[in-house]
Amino acid sequence: MNVNAVQGAGGLGKELADWITTGEPKAYLLPFDVRRFIDLHNNSKFLRERVQEAVGYNYSIRHPLLTEFKTARKSRCSPLYTVQEQAGAVFGERMGFERVLYFDPSKTREERLN
């Protein structure tokens, strides 16, 4: 959590207490649930690369095609990755998986990664 957690501390505390006593959260608490992380998020190489970029990302202006991380990529790729890349795929990443955002065969591989 960041400074926003201070603003929501009372509400989060109540929801957490309800979750503990009833076994189920009443509100949507996935952003605060540590179970959402996977083994990749505890990988030292991944963390060294990603953390430096993630801090800046947190304070940047968001744009759908300009907010993809450039570091710690290709951690988890589909068997079709090479075929898609050759077809001009521009990739994004979610939970370590490279996924196709769109196809643009006119760009070089380097242009698609930047």
pLDDT (tens digit per residue) in 38-83: 899 899 999 998 888 888 777 777 776 677 888 899 989 999 999 9
Residue 112's pLDDT is what? 61
Same domain for 103 and 75, yes or no, is: yes
Q: Could you give the C-alpha distances from 75 to 27, 49, 59, 78, 90, in angstroms and in order?
A: 32, 12, 25, 10, 16
Which pair of structure tokens corresponds to residue 62?
Answer: 């968001």
The verdict on 44 and 29 lying in the same domain is: no
The structure's pTM equals 0.66
Across the chain, mean pLDDT equals 83
Look up the domain containing 20 and give its range.
1-36
User: How many structural domains compose the chain?
Assistant: 2
Q: Provide, rounded to the nearest whole percent, the portion of the chain with pLDDT above 90.
A: 27
Residues 16 and 60 in one domain: no
Contact yes or no for 54/69 (Cβ under 8 A): yes
| Residue 3 pLDDT grade (very low, low, confident, very high; cuts 50, 70, 90) | low
* Same domain assignment for residues 89 and 56: yes
Domain shared by 43 and 22, yes or no? no
Residues 26 and 24: their CA atoms lie apart, in Å, by 6
Q: Identify whether residues 50 and 26 lie together within a single domain.
A: no
- Nearest CA-CA partner of 75 in 99, 51, 56, 53: 99
Q: Under a CB-based contact definition with an 8 Å cutoff, are residues 53 and 69 in contact?
A: yes
